[in-house]
Amino acid sequence: MTKNSRPAAKAPAKPSAAVKSAARNTDSGPATVGSAMADLPARKMLEVEQLAAQMPVNPNKAVEHGLQAGLQPSTGATAEPPSRVPLGSTLSEDNGSEKTGSIAPEGLNATIEPLDRVRVDASGQVLTTNLGVAVADNQNSLKYGLRGPALLEDFVLREKITHFDHERIPERIVHARGSAAHGFFECYAPFTRYTRAAPFREKGKVTPVFVRFSTVAGERGSKDTARDVRGFAVKFYTDEGNWDLVGNNIPVFFIQDAMKFPDLVHAVKPEPHHQMPQAASAHDTFWDFVSLMPESTHMLMWVMSDRAIPRSFATMQGFGVHTFRLVNEQGESVFCKFHWTPTAGTHSLVWDEAVKISGADPDYHRRDLWERIEAGAYPEYELGVQIFTEEQADAFSFDILDATKIVPEELVPITPVGRMVLNRNPDNFFAETEQVAFCTANVVPGIDFSNDPLLAGRIHSYVDTQLTRLGGPNFHEIPINAPIRQVHNNQRDGLHRQAIHRGRVAYEPNSLAGGCPFQAGAAQGFVTFPARLRAQEEQVKVRGKPEKFADHYTQARLFLDSQSPAEQSHIEQAFRFELSKVTVPAIRARVVSMLRNVNEDLATRLAQDLGMAAVPDAMPLAIDVVAAPEVTVSNALSLLARPGDGSLKGRKVAVIVAPGIEADSVLQVQEALEAEGAVARLMGPRIGPVAAADGTVLDADVSLENEPGFLFDALVLPDGIAGVNLLVENGRVLEHLKDQHRHCKPILVLGESTKLLTAGNVNATLADGGEDEALVVVGSDEATDGIARFLAAMRRHRNFSRETDPPRV
């Protein structure tokens, strides 16, 4: 047998068709992997399970924290595979040719013919830089002290991030699919007590903004409604330069250090051997990574919650994620967290709805944003800040430099500082939305950074990415990126330079240009806040994390316990769906073991639903003693706690019509909805004129065929015996009704349309026999009362009391 050949698989006595079938798919797997190896795919399935099961936890987590661990990082954990089979990208690698050659030589980066010269197998090898230097610590960036600033000399971080920045050009590596709008920020009152930043200097001051919303994992052509984090990036064009608040719709993140960002994104992106799945986290590599990084647990709770499938950008919160500094004119500093809260409230899709929408309209969020602005239903958000001092931060049970933690609102309330209104769509998608370049490094006097090690990496990474994505160092001169303040410096030349500078001087100091442009000095220019380094005995160059970073589960438990029963059910269902798509049972077991540290009931139910014989042991904690949390339940973390101002602007309602319906009540509903700013679309079997029973001709602008019911926020079923009799025979009507009912949306049933409820087997009451307040059924002479109740139900968005698992309809 040659070194590069694979040992022949032993044929079982009785090949199992079930085992063969289970081993031949890429998006799901059996609850357990048996010992029967019917053929090579089944053998690989078994050996992958055996390999993953050897590492039920990340054994190094407990020794990553503290000064000593930072000075003497431990050797990475490894597991011995049963053979080379589970390490291969594909079972077809034996099908060689003169071009493809044989399988990769074991444990060797070979440079031999033909393509074997570029295949790499890392089995049994230590991690190195691109120049072959062994990497002692791949978990932490180099800092001056455990809580100190990241250091420019960290060549390992810079190489890793720089390479990652240039992996996908010209498309963004992450946040590739985006939608954007222009608008303004208006300051409520002077906030100069805390900051000298231009947008907050006086009451009523208006600052132009450009906001880009995005998904994170998907490519530019992916769907809008994927379960994913959403980017929420705001570019303030201030009179002191551009400030970019580059955040997300979730206030925490998966990782604590920028060193791990390329690993996270590589894990969640489509798997490189077959480039699947697109824009989804329900696959092996993502769950393998996060289950070995238990600091991800808090973020997983958010991503498995309804936050990851927002109804629209207009009903989605935004967060700065990191801890920043505010600095006032006197040079005094406080820490802060930024929060964007939508005036329309925080509302989401349900999973079944999101999946269906992705097929019917993958541009659902992009379309909604555009249509709201075109219709004058401008999305509006309130900017609030949490302010706390260094002394307060030191006393918290968590570390404010840890991006996997929030500061509970019960601990530090949010102070409103202004509002943002998006009131203009871009003129050209590419010139504005695609070419806009955000960067966390773009700050103005009065805004400064903390020593968050994840933020430190982003400060470098964003600029580096734009250099190649936008063609060179002059991307700041692209109109959408240019500031409104005059720009004067000694930068010259480079690709795509637009400015034509007068004179011969391009240096400072100079005398030939009268010393201009000259440095502004502290009174006018940006000055980094001189944060003092505490505990001088620990201020050495070190790769490590502070002790408080080791608490991975307290805030995950806080988030779960703060959700409503319906939201908790959605989180459980999301974990169940995502983990059912994982093909390696050992990875599923590892995730459930991690969740035992959050909630025993959740872990137990998931183990049962995923076919596990027993609930796995809880994952060991990375720290022996966890600080007692200040807050154990925070109502502010529930979407239902943020219903908004009750406005119905921008909502879409399907009003079904057919020949022979009663026109008066339909027109009455349409008028009431339009008065609220909602879009009431008349939906017929076909588009065009529809004659009502009294001869009134209604114009159906949408058909039952071209717009599924799940694209709408509510449904109205008409009165009129002749029309209803036609609708009862139309299967698409019943599909609309069932989808709207299953997704817990408001439904108004007028007069004779009770027949449609019967035909669709839709219950007019809840499963427990109670009244369904979002299913409004009224007689022919009760339309006015019914419309009022219907509008009230729409203000609550959904009635989750209707929801059952599995659904009744």
Neighbours of 647 (CB within 10 A): 16
> Is residue 100 very low, low, confident or very high in pLDDT (cuts 50, 70, 90)?
low
> Is residue 355 very low, low, confident or very high in pLDDT (cuts 50, 70, 90)?
very high
> Is residue 120 very low, low, confident or very high in pLDDT (cuts 50, 70, 90)?
low
Quick one: what percent of the chain has pLDDT higher than 70?
Answer: 92
> Is residue 534 very low, low, confident or very high in pLDDT (cuts 50, 70, 90)?
low
Mean pLDDT for the chain overall? 89
- Higher per-residue confidence, 393 vs 15: 393
Helices within 183-283 (DSSP H only): 261-268
Which amino acid is it at 261?
F
Q: Is the pLDDT of residue 205 over 90?
A: yes
Active site annotation includes 248: yes
State the catalytic residue, choosing from 58, 140, 242, 248: 248
Q: Is the pLDDT of residue 453 over 80?
A: yes
> Is residue 233 very low, low, confident or very high in pLDDT (cuts 50, 70, 90)?
very high
Q: Is the pLDDT of residue 90 over 80?
A: no
pLDDT of residue 137: 80
pLDDT of residue 526: 80
User: pLDDT tens for residues 578-604?
Assistant: 999 999 999 999 999 999 999 999 999
For 622-696, strand residue ranges (E) read 652-656, 679-684, 688-691
> Is residue 13 very low, low, confident or very high in pLDDT (cuts 50, 70, 90)?
very low
pLDDT of residue 9: 45
User: pLDDT tens for residues 700-733?
Assistant: 999 999 999 999 999 999 999 999 999 999 999 9
Q: Is the pLDDT of residue 147 over 50?
A: yes
- Higher per-residue confidence, 778 vs 91: 778
Q: Is the pLDDT of residue 262 over 70?
A: yes
CA distances for 293 relative to 137, 264, 297, 588, 619, angstroms: 15, 10, 8, 14, 11
C-alpha–C-alpha distance, residues 215 and 303, integer Å: 12
> Is residue 512 very low, low, confident or very high in pLDDT (cuts 50, 70, 90)?
confident
Cα-Cα-Cα-Cα torsion 118, 124, 127, 130, nearest 10 degrees, comes to -20
Q: What is the DSSP letter of 120?
A: B
Closest CA to 337 of 276, 265, 402: 402
Apex CA 365: angle with CA 361 and CA 369, to 5°?
A: 125
402 touches 251 (CB < 8 A): no
C-alpha–C-alpha distance, residues 361 and 706, integer Å: 11
Neighbours of 24 (CB within 10 A): 12
User: pLDDT tens for residues 79-89?
Assistant: 888 888 888 87
For 687-764, strand residue ranges (E) read 688-691, 697-700, 702-703, 714-717, 747-750
State the catalytic residue, choosing from 58, 65, 140, 175: 175
pLDDT of residue 115: 47
